[in-house]
Copies of this chain bind each other. A is one copy, B any other.
């Protein structure tokens, strides 16, 4: 199967590596606005051929859109204009409602499958790509009933080859859930990094003292704005709901401390410990 990867970064690159390893992909065309990414991806054998968007789309059975979510929304209608009925387009973005909304009346709507493999790191670019990235993680397919059976089956096969566990939900629910279990984590990490950077001027001391707990909590704060500003923008309402709730929860800790109400503080912590039963 010939595959076009539009955006040969961390996610597109990791998919390409695994789909080649599984011999699901026989040829991979790489398209990217960033020339360095393309050269690097070719060097690393992530892609087989560097080409432009139209040639890649015309020559591929499957087109994978793995670029920031604002660019996906702009580019997808154009890609759907270019394909014929036997081709399939999938995206892998972290927000889903905006992208399904933009092409809901497109005559090739059924050739598109909206999806989201739940994996990422704070690193970016093809040099961070790895074939084992997605194994045993969840992948979500949204609004499956809007896609043709052939396209849906093809995308299911892609995720099977990535060794991912498939989930199905509508795009609105997806965006609510990801606000809770992904987008808010990034905001708290960014805010925590800014808190420490704001107050703590002795950077050597941070660097030397920073425990593994701090490092894991602040890890996501290394994630780039090019990817995350568009996600927060597209999922603004849900993210604001969760952010308001999170600030309310933090205020409870603040209030318990200020009032020296250590019984309440213990209750808040014991409640949080319930996450232990949910997350392994």
Name the contact of A187 in the complex, choosing from B186, B210, B253 (C-beta under 8 A): B253
Known contacts A180-B206, A181-B210, A272-B194; A260 and B244 CB within 8 A of each other: no
Of A83-91, A107-115, A221-229, which binds chain B? A221-229
Of A25-33, A52-60, A71-79, A197-205, which binds chain B? A197-205
**CB distance A178 to B271 under 8 Å?**
no
Name the contact of A213 in the complex, choosing from B185, B262, B275 (C-beta under 8 A): B185
Assess whether A50 is interfacial by the CB under 8 Å rule: no
Name the contact of A272 in the complex, choosing from B137, B197, B269 (C-beta under 8 A): B197
**CB distance A254 to B250 under 8 Å?**
no
Count of interface residues, chain A, beta-carbon cutoff 8 Å = 91
Question: Roughly how many angstroms separate A193 CA and B252 CA in the complex, as a whole number?
Answer: 13
Determine the residue in chain B with the shortest Cβ distance to A192. Answer: B188
- Output the least CB separation between A141 and chain B (Å): 13
Question: Roughly how many angstroms separate A221 CA and B196 CA in the complex, as a whole number?
Answer: 20
Neighbouring B residues of A106 by C-beta, 8 Å: none
Of A10-18, A40-48, A142-150, A231-239, which binds chain B? A231-239
Question: Roughly how many angstroms separate A169 CA and B204 CA in the complex, as a whole number?
Answer: 13
**CB distance A225 to B191 under 8 Å?**
no
- Output the least CB separation between A96 and chain B (Å): 12
Question: Roughly how many angstroms separate A265 CA and B183 CA in the complex, as a whole number?
Answer: 14
- Output the least CB separation between A168 and chain B (Å): 11
Assess whether A34 is interfacial by the CB under 8 Å rule: no
Name the contact of A275 in the complex, choosing from B138, B218, B265, B266 (C-beta under 8 A): B218
The winner among A185, A244, A270 for most chain B CB atoms within 10 A is A185
Neighbouring B residues of A218 by C-beta, 8 Å: 185, 275, 279
Q: B-facing mask of A253-280, CB < 8 A → 1, else 0?
A: 1100110101001101111111110110
**CB distance B258 to A221 under 8 Å?**
no
A residues engaging B (CB < 8 A)? 118-121, 137-138, 140, 165, 167, 169, 177-178, 180-182, 184-200, 203, 205-225, 228-229, 232-233, 236, 239-247, 249-254, 257-258, 260, 262, 265-266, 268-276, 278-279
Which 4 pairs of residues, A with B, have the shortest CB-CB distance? A190-B272, A193-B272, A225-B269, A185-B217
